[in-house]
Structures are given as C-alpha cells and as structure tokens.
Amino acid sequence: MRSIPFSSYIVRFLFAFAMIGSLTACGSGERETQRAARDGILLFGNGSEPKGIDPHLVTGVPENKIISALVEGLVSYHPTSDLESSPGMAERWESNADFTVWTFYLRDAKWTNGDPVRAQDFVYSWQRILSPELGAEYAPMLYVIKNAEAFNTGGLKDFSQVGVKALDDKTLQVTLGGSTSYFPLMLQHYSFFPVNPRAVEEHGGMTDRQSGWSTFDNYVGNGPFRLKQWVTNQVIEVERNPDYWDAKTVKLNGIRFFPIDNINAEETMFRNDRLHITNQVFPDKIPVFAEKMPEQLRNDPYLGTYFYRINVTRKPFNDPRVRRALALSLDKKLLVEKVTKGGQAPATGYVPTGIPGYEASTAVSFRPDEARRLLAEAGYPGGKGFPKTEIMINTSEAHRKVAEAVQELWRRELGIEIGIYNQEWKVYLDNQSSLNFDLSRSGWIADYAHPSTFVDMFTTGNGNNDTGWSSARYDALIEAARRAGSEEERVRLMHDAEEVLLNEMPIVPIYWYTRVYLLDTKVKGWYPKLLDNHPYKHVWLEPDASEAGK
C-alpha cells in the first residue's frame, strides 16, 4: 500500500478547483492574457530584475532576454533552430577556405536615434568590450578574434592590430586567431552586439562602466523593439520599432518583461492569467502540469550539463579511482525520474546530446559493481575508512534535493558518508574558484552550439576549470582542435579530449538539462530551441476564439 486514496483525492480536488477558478473568469471581465493577446503584447516571466541592458556589461539570462529584443548583431537568431544563424545587420557573409578571415556585408539599417548602422560601429563596439578599462566580464567571448586577448589583458595597446576592420561603411572584415567554422554561431551572443557610438560618447565615453547611455532615457538600439517603459522590480516594456529593417516581419506590438524571481509567485501569476510564459516550473509540479494542462507545459531540450566538480587536489579525490567510483555508482536515471522530474537525460558524458556531428559520450554509465571494485582498490572497501567529505551547493531548493538524493545513493552503493554544505551564492563562488571544497555543484550552459563551449574550459589553468585537474594530453588535444584544418578533425579531437576527461573524471556528470516552463496556448511561433534563444520577431499571439466575445 503506497498511499491511501483519500489524500490523493484532496490533492486532485484542490488542484482541480484552483484550475477551474483560474480558467473561468468569473466577474472580472476579460483576462489579462486574453486582452494582451488581442493587443499583440507578450507577457513574459523573466526571472529577475536585469542588472543592466548594456550588452557589453551584462552576463545574465534575464538581461539577454531583454537585450535581444532591443539590439541586433551581425546575425540574428534563426526562427526554429539554434544550430544556424539568420541574417541580421549583415545581409550575408563569407569566409576564406580555412575559416580564419570572415567578411560581413551590412544591410541598410538604422539605430533608434536615426544614425545608420555602419561597419565602423562594430569596430567601435568590439573595441569597447575589449578595452581593459571597461572591465567587461564577457570580453573573453571575443578572444576568438586575432589579438583580442592581448588587447583585453593590456599587453597590446594598439587596437588596429586586433583582427577587426571596416573595409568601408558596409563591409566588416574579421580575422580570427584560428580556424573557427562556427564563428557565425558565436555571433549570436550579445557580447558581439553593437552599441551606438554617438550615444556612448555622449554619455561618458567608451570605457565608462557607469555610462548613462543604457538608461531608459538614453538607450539607443537597432533591434525589432524599443524601450517603452521601465518600472524597477515590476515591468520592462518594449514596443515595436517602426524603423527596424525587418519591421514588416515583426508581429508583436510589444513585450512586457516581468522580473519574478520567486518560482511560486511566477506560477501563481501564470495561473492567474497574468503571464503568457514563465521562466521555470517547480520540479515537483511538472508531473501534475503534465497531467492537468499538458498543452501549456513545455519541455524543450537545452544545451547544458549539470555536474559535480571534484577537487582533485584533496584527499581522497586525488585518486582517479575514487573519482571514477563516484561517477559510476550514481543511478542517474532514478535521479532524473524521481527527483528532477523535468525529462532531463541522465548524463553519460560531459558534452550533452544535440550538437550535430558530435556524438555524446557513453563512458559514464551506471556500473555500481565496477565502482565498488574501484573504491576497494583505492583502499576503501565498502566505504570503510573513507574520510569525511562534503558536497558544496549554492542555496536553492532544487540543488538541495539533488544533493540529498545523491548523498543517499552514494551511501547505498558505496557505503560512504558524504555531507552537504549549503552556501550562499557569493561565498559558494569564492569557495569554488579558490578550490575550497571537496565536491561542488556546477552547471554549464552552452554559449553557442558547439562542443568547444564545453571542452575548452577544462584546460590547465582555465579560469572555469575550478577542479585543480590538469592533463597535458587534454591540453594538447584542445590546442590541436583549435588548429584543426577541418571541422570533422576538430570534432574528433574534441571527442578524444572528452574521453580523457571522462577517464580521469574530475567531474561527476549528472544530467543534461531541459528547459521546462509554462507557455500559454495563445503564443504562436515559439519553437523549442537548444539555447533557448527565441527571436521575438517571429512570435505572434492568437487570442482564444472562445473568449473573444467577452
């Protein structure tokens, strides 16, 4: 007997009652989502208040969601796939045979202050984000460009030696440090976005971090939408930009971005018909939504890996056998089905599935017997004598639950006791980067759809390595991949590097992400995207016919 039916009746009753309540608009007239749909306004749950909307200074997802409505880079998001780029400010582009020199041909487009968008604007913008004085955190994204790193870290003072040049007003030539066939994919990232030089110069200049150009009053963009309203902690509203080059494609009249960091508040608002789309869904409720409102629950693949970093400088984790034992003893299928519940895939490798041409590794399957054998070989048979160690997590209900389950699974399979150490975000970051942990909860979301965004970070001394792990062979493979003549060769080298990583196991891969959220059925043209980049200009709203008369 698992549960008495009575309580489950209560549950169903409560939930059904709440559902009926939220679906029938009794007395209060037309629902907000319906009215907005008629007005062509998308109501968007956007996580948290943006820390800014200057594309060169922000680092977060909510910021990205707003900026991608306001500014357009050389390329734009493809309507249905994050594996290709659509034309943006550049009408077309070409590269030389080994993908080191790229030429972009710009279209006639305007900034919201009336200036034409010129190739020089991109040179200015990339100089700005790479200027050491600006201190842009995402500047390393541009290191793919020749000499960009040297300029950004202060070694090179002369920007003309960096590989970006305006051949004329409409032609931009970019020289890369190495062969990079996926450069147009990288260009989707907001760190490559242009800023309007005149606006920046008028409000503090190129390298002023607190430059006023990106405030509500002074903002200048070139994207499909422009700012209409900004109430802190409440709403940021954008409206259709009539001067956008592709304005005829844009179907929405506007988008309201609501910063809601509390997951339950967001869900309540969605069910209260105040949002068309949520940022997330509480994991335990996913099965309920799947049953009660399947047409509104979205579960899209998402290019990211959830894993635990292992500090290989600490005993007993300096022994690769111990690390392998941890990784092989985890029943990840059970974990994703019973704990995370969002349809995530158990990670059998580090680089997630979904990147065309790159087959995900299957090296880390569930092999508890082998794990126990490895642990015994390392000197801890049945977990005896295993020192007291901890999983460090940052404060979050979801991470806590995963860690509690992992703790129990390791206890069961290996007989080892591992504690959990819940840390507030900033302390957690400090501890992680100073290797002050045993095991650390981590996640990595791709910046662009290519394995390099994952494998590059575990090279020796990389700022994002954070495990103390170092392998000459791995470094050599990554370096070779960077110089590879063909895409096939590059991918093969990266694959080899991943196998080295998974053999040494400085990380315990747990699952590959999915994006789970609620989406109103009135929203159309919203496709599953691997990187969750949704081009708003292709999205439209259809009011419910049944409600139209109200």
Site residues (CB under 8 A) for another protein, limited to 211-230: 211-212, 214-215
**Cα dihedral angle (407, 409, 413, 414), rounded to 10 degrees?**
-10
The verdict on 4 binding another protein (CB under 8 A) reads: yes
Segment contacting another protein (CB under 8 A): 6-14, 71-79, 86-94, 496-504?
6-14
**Distance (Å, rounded) from C-alpha 276 to C-alpha 260?**
13
418 forms bridges with which residues in the sheet? 389
Answer yes or no: are the C-beta atoms of 172 and 89 closer than 8 Å: no
Of 245-253, 361-369, 424-432, 485-493, the segment contacting another protein by CB under 8 A is 424-432
28 touches another protein (CB under 8 A): yes
**Region 123-142 residues binding another protein, contact defined as CB under 8 A:** 132-140
Best CA proximity match to 103, nearest among 55, 10, 166, 36: 166
Which one of the spans 104-112, 203-211, 236-244, 468-476 is the region binding another protein (CB under 8 A)? 203-211
* Contact window for another protein (CB under 8 A) among 277-285, 294-302, 318-326, 523-531: 277-285
The first and second tokens of residue 378, run together, are 């390392």
Cis preceding-peptide flag for 316 (omega within 30 of 0): yes
The Cα diameter of the chain in Å comes to 76
Tokens found for residue 163: 């590989």
**From the list 243, 261, 369, 488, which residue makes contact with another protein (rule: CB under 8 A)?**
261
The answer to whether 396 contacts another protein (rule: CB under 8 A) is yes
**DSSP track, 115-176:** PBP-HHHHHHHHHHHH-GGG--TTGGGGGGBTTHHHHHTTS---GGGSSEEEEETTEEEEEB
- Shortest reach from residue 356's CB to another protein, in Å: 25
The yes or no reply on residue 152 touching another protein (CB under 8 A) is yes
Per rule CB under 8 A, is residue 282 in the interface with another protein?
yes
Residue 365 in the binding site for another protein (CB under 8 A): no
Closest approach, Cβ 250 to another protein, in A, equals 26
> Does residue 473 interact with another protein by CB under 8 A?
no
Residue 288 within binding range of another protein, rule CB under 8 A: yes
Q: Does 272 bind another protein (CB under 8 A)?
A: yes
If the CB atoms of residues 49 and 98 are measured against another protein, the closer one turns out to be 49
CB closer to another protein, 167 vs 429: 429
Per DSSP, the three-state class of 523 is strand
Nearest approach, Cβ of 150 to another protein (angstroms)? 11
Matching residue, tokens 């170092």:
470
Binding to another protein in span 403-422, by CB under 8 A: 403-405, 407-408, 419-422
**First and final CA of the chain: distance in angstroms?**
48
- Give the span between the Cα atoms of 105 and 385, in whole angstroms: 65
| Contact region with another protein (CB under 8 A), list: 161-169, 191-199, 278-286, 537-545 | 278-286
From candidates 179, 423, 467, 514, binder to another protein by CB under 8 A: 423
Task: Single out the segment in contact with another protein by CB under 8 A; choices: 86-94, 157-165, 238-246, 427-435.
Answer: 427-435
In our burial notation (b when 16+ CB lie closer than 10 A, e otherwise), range 347-360 reads bbbbbbebbeebeb
Q: Is residue 355 close enough to count as binding another protein by CB under 8 A?
A: no
Q: Does 279 bind another protein (CB under 8 A)?
A: no
The three-state (H, E, C) secondary structure of 32-100, written as one string: HHHHHHHHCEEEEECCCCCCCCCCCCCCCHHHHHHHHHHCCCCEEECCCCCCCEEECCEEEEEECCCCC
Interaction between residue 17 and another protein (CB under 8 A): yes
CA distance 51 to 290: 33
**Which region, judged by CB under 8 A, interacts with another protein, from 96-104, 209-217, 376-384, 517-525?**
209-217
What residue type is assigned to position 226 of the chain? R
Please say which residue, 155 or 356, places its beta carbon nearer to another protein: 155
User: Does residue number 338 form part of the binding site for another protein (CB under 8 A)?
Assistant: yes
Site residues for another protein, window 41-100 (CB under 8 A)?
A: 49, 51-52, 54, 57-59
Q: Give the nearest distance from C-beta 259 to another protein in angstroms.
A: 8
Rule CB under 8 A: say whether 7 interacts with another protein. Answer: yes
Q: Which is nearer to another protein, 245 or 306 (CB)?
A: 306
> Should residue 206 be labelled a site residue for another protein when binding is judged by CB under 8 A?
no
Say how far apart CA 213 and CA 11 lie, in whole Å: 52
**Count of Cβ atoms closer than 10 Å to residue 335 Cβ:** 21
